[in-house]
Amino acid sequence: MKRAVFFFAAVILTATTYSAKLCGVVYDKQNGNTISKAKVLLVKTLGVKSTTITDAKGYFDFVSLENGEYFLRIEKAGYEVYEKKIHLTGDKEIKVELILKAKPLEDIVVNQDYEAVESTALFNTKSSCYGEPVGAGIGYAGNSYDNVATDWNTESYDFIDENNFKNTLSDPLSTFSVDVDRAAYANIRRFLNQNTMPYPDVVRVEEMINYFDYDYPQPDGNHPFSTSLELGVCPWTKDHKLLLVGIQGEKMESENISPANLVFLIDVSGSMNSSNKLPLLKQSFKILVDQLRSEDRVAIVVYAGAAGCVLESTPGSEKAKILAALDLLEAGGSTAGGAGIKLAYKIAKENFIKNGNNRVILASDGDFNVGESSDAAMERLIEEKRNEGVFLTILGFGMGNYKDSKMEKLSNKGNGNYAYIDNILEAKKMFVDELWGTLYTIAKDVKIQIEFNPAYVKGYRLVGYENRLLNKEDFNDDTKDAGEIGSGHSVTALYEIIPADSDETVGDVDELNYQKLNIKKSNDLMTLKLRYKHPDEDTSSLIENKIGISSFGKISDNFNLAASIAQFGMLLRDSEFKGDASYESTLALAKSAKGKDEFGYRNEYITLIEKAALLCK
C-alpha cells in the first residue's frame, strides 16, 4: 500500500559581514526528532563545493564562506532530494524552510550511498494476533504503514513482566500502590480503531479495568473512600477463584471543592504538528476551560526550542482571554521539556493557593529531546515539587513517536494521573464527565496490603499492577510514594486464587531446615489493609478489615465487567495465564455486564472486543 508521509526540516542560516557562517538544524516535523546523517551539500555557482553530514542532533555548519550565490541540497535515504537557491550577503540573516517528502514505499531500495534504508515485511509472528518487530529501535506494530516497520516510528513502552503465582505459606502478603491511570485503555482503542493489534507492552491490565466506573457504594464513614469485595469462579480457569477488591472515592460536589491553581504546560514542538496532537490538544483544553469556576485560575506555559509563559495566571471567569491564548499556539521547534517543567512549577508556586488544588497539567507526545530530558532528572524535579504541594497530571497525544514509558514514569512521581487522549470524546470524558476526579485529589499515597490465609488459599496472583508493586515493609513507611485517588474515582484490583485443596503445585521449594510454618486456625479468607494520607498531610491513616470465608454473596455486574476486561487484556498480551480465555467468552461476559451504560463506554468496549477477534482471524 502506498502511503505519503511528509517531513519538515527547518534550516536556520546566518552570515557574518566578511566571512559568512552557514549553520542549521534539520529536524522532522512529523515526530519532532532531529534528522541525523542527512547529507548536506553546498555548491557555489562558480563550482566551489562543500559537503557535510548532520550530526546526532541534526546539526550542521559551514564556516568561512564567501558572499554570493549558492545551491543548498539535502539528501536522506528514503526521501526525495531537495534543492534551494541561497544568496549569502555579509549583513543579512537568511532563514529557509525546507520540506522533505518521503518516497513511495515501492520506490525505496537499498542504496550504497546511505547507512540504511527502510524495508518491508520485517515482522515475525509471535502469536496469531499481533506482529513483533525484528531488530532494536524499530517501530512497534500499529505504525502508519500496514505491517511495515519504519525508522521514524519511535513509540516506546516499558516491558511488562506479568505477575506470577505466589505460594501463600511462604509469601502471604501482597502489597501494591493503587493506580487510577487510564492511558493504556485509550491507547489500545487507538490501535484497534486503526485495525492493528496493540503491542503487548501497551497493555497494562489495571489501567484497562480502571478506565470504567463501577457501581460501588459511596463512603459513609470517616474515610474518603469505601471498599467492596466479591469472590467468584475465575472465568478463564474454572478450578480457580477470582477475588475483586473495589475502592470507591467520595464524589465531591464542585461547590465543595477548593479553588484550583492550574498551569497548562503545553508541548508546541515540531513533533506536535499533526491533527491528533496540538489541534486536538487545544480543543481538549477548551473543554476544560469551559468548566472552570470564577475562583479557579489558569496560566499557560509552552515549550519547544525554549520555554515561555504565554498567559499569566488568569481567573477562570476570563474564559475569552484563556481561549484566545490557546488559539495562538502553533507547533515548531525542538523539545525543551525540562525547561518547560521547571517554568511551569515556578509559576504554580508563585500563584500557590493554600489548601487549594495546585496542579501542573502537562500535555505532550512525551518526546523530550532537548535540555534536561533524562528520566532520572525529571523524576527528581517532580518529586521535589510534589512534596511542596504541586501535583502533576499528564495527558498524552499522538502516535508514531509517542513516549508512553516516559509519560507514565513522570506521572507516577507527581502525585497525579496519566491519560491518553485519542479523540475529542475522550477529552469530554476527562474534563466534563470526570473533571474533578481528574483534577482534585481526595487521598494520596494510597496503598493496599492483603494477607491471605493459607488454610483457604494455596496460591494467588495479582492481575496487573506490575509497575505498582511495593515491598511488604513499604506499607508502613510513610516516606514511600504511592498512588492517588481523585473525587469520585474508583479503583479495582483482581486476584486469581488457587484454593487450598487444589492439587496444583505453587512455587515449590525445599523444606526449611531451621523454622516451621504454622497455620493459625481461623475462618478468615484474608486480612485487608489500606493506608492513605489526606492531600495536605504527611502521616497516613490505616483501615484494616478481616474478611471471613462466608462474607461473600452473589457476584454483580462489577465482577463480570472487571473479569471480562482482565481476560481481554490477557488475550491481547497472549498471556501465559490466559487459560481457557477466548474472545467469544470475553464478549459474552462483557455483554452480560453492560448494564445501564449511561455514556456508552461499555458498548464501545464490546465493539473493541469484536474488532480484536476479527483481527486475530
List Cα–Cα distances, 190 to 194, 198, 203, 608, in angstroms: 6, 9, 12, 10
Largest CA distance in the chain: 96
pLDDT at 377: 73
pLDDT digits (tens, 9 = 90+) for 524-545: 999 999 999 998 899 999 999 9
* C-alpha–C-alpha distance, residues 509 and 167, integer Å: 10
List Cα–Cα distances, 107 to 28, 82, 206, in angstroms: 21, 17, 44
Q: Which of 448, 471, 613, 432 is nearest to 545 (CA)?
A: 448
Residue 109: CB partners within 8 Å, gap ≥ 6? 117
pLDDT digits (tens, 9 = 90+) for 416-472: 789 999 999 999 999 999 888 888 899 999 999 999 999 999 999 999 999 999 999
Contact status, residue 160 vs residue 201, Cβ threshold 8 Å: yes
- In CATH terms, the fold of domain 6-107 is Immunoglobulin-like (2.60.40)
Residue 222: CB partners within 8 Å, gap ≥ 6? none
Secondary structure of 407-438 as H, E, C letters: HHHHHHHCCCCEEECCCHHHHHHHHHHCHHHH
* Residue 96, C-alpha cell as written in the block: 529557509
* Residue 575, C-alpha cell as written in the block: 498471556
Considering the four listed CATH numbers 3.40.640.10, 3.30.450.40, 3.40.50.410, 3.30.70.3280, the one that applies to the domain covering 254-439 is 3.40.50.410
Higher confidence at residue 257 or residue 126?
Answer: 257
pLDDT at 296: 95
List Cα–Cα distances, 307 to 98, 235, 264, 336, 384, in angstroms: 24, 51, 12, 7, 20
* Residue 325, C-alpha cell as written in the block: 491564548
CA atoms within 13 Å, Cβ hemisphere of 516:
3
CATH class for the region spanning 166-252+442-504+522-616: mainly beta
Strands 173-177, 457-463: pairing is unpaired
Contact status, residue 205 vs residue 464, Cβ threshold 8 Å: yes
Torsion of CA 14, 17, 19, 24, to 10 degrees: 0
Helices 583-592 and 601-616 meet at what angle, rounded to 10?
170
CA angle (497 as vertex; 183, 567 as ends), nearest 5:
40
Number of H helices, E strands in the chain: 12, 26
* C-alpha–C-alpha distance, residues 511 and 524, integer Å: 26
* C-alpha–C-alpha distance, residues 281 and 366, integer Å: 13
* C-alpha–C-alpha distance, residues 502 and 458, integer Å: 7
Tell me what the mean pLDDT of segment 88-110 comes to. 56
* C-alpha–C-alpha distance, residues 543 and 339, integer Å: 41
Contact status, residue 303 vs residue 267, Cβ threshold 8 Å: yes
pLDDT at 140: 32
Confidence of residue 375 (pLDDT cuts 50, 70, 90): low
CA atoms within 13 Å, Cβ hemisphere of 470:
25
Q: Which residue has the cell 487545544?
A: 282
Q: Do domains 6-107 and 254-439 have the same CATH topology?
A: no
Rounded to two decimals, the pTM is: 0.75
pLDDT at 148: 30
Higher confidence at residue 531 or residue 36?
Answer: 531
Q: Rounded mean pLDDT of the chain?
A: 82
Please tell me the least confidently modeled range out of 75-79, 245-249, 250-254, 593-597. Answer: 75-79
Tell me what the mean pLDDT of segment 354-375 comes to. 76
Higher confidence at residue 4 or residue 551?
Answer: 551
pLDDT at 45: 52
Task: Residue 464: count other Cβ atoms within 10 Å of its Cβ.
Answer: 27
* C-alpha–C-alpha distance, residues 483 and 486, integer Å: 10
Q: For residue 263, which phi and psi values (nearest 5 degrees)? A: -125, 115
Q: Is the pLDDT of residue 146 over 60?
A: no
Q: Where are the domains of the chain?
A: 6-107, 119-153, 166-252+442-504+522-616, 254-439
Confidence of residue 41 (pLDDT cuts 50, 70, 90): confident
CA angle (48 as vertex; 42, 54 as ends), nearest 5:
25
pLDDT at 338: 73
Contact status, residue 393 vs residue 436, Cβ threshold 8 Å: no
Q: For residue 300, which phi and psi values (nearest 5 degrees)? A: -125, 125
pLDDT digits (tens, 9 = 90+) for 540-570: 999 999 999 988 989 999 999 999 999 999 9
What percent of the chain clears pLDDT 90, i.e. is strictly above it? 53
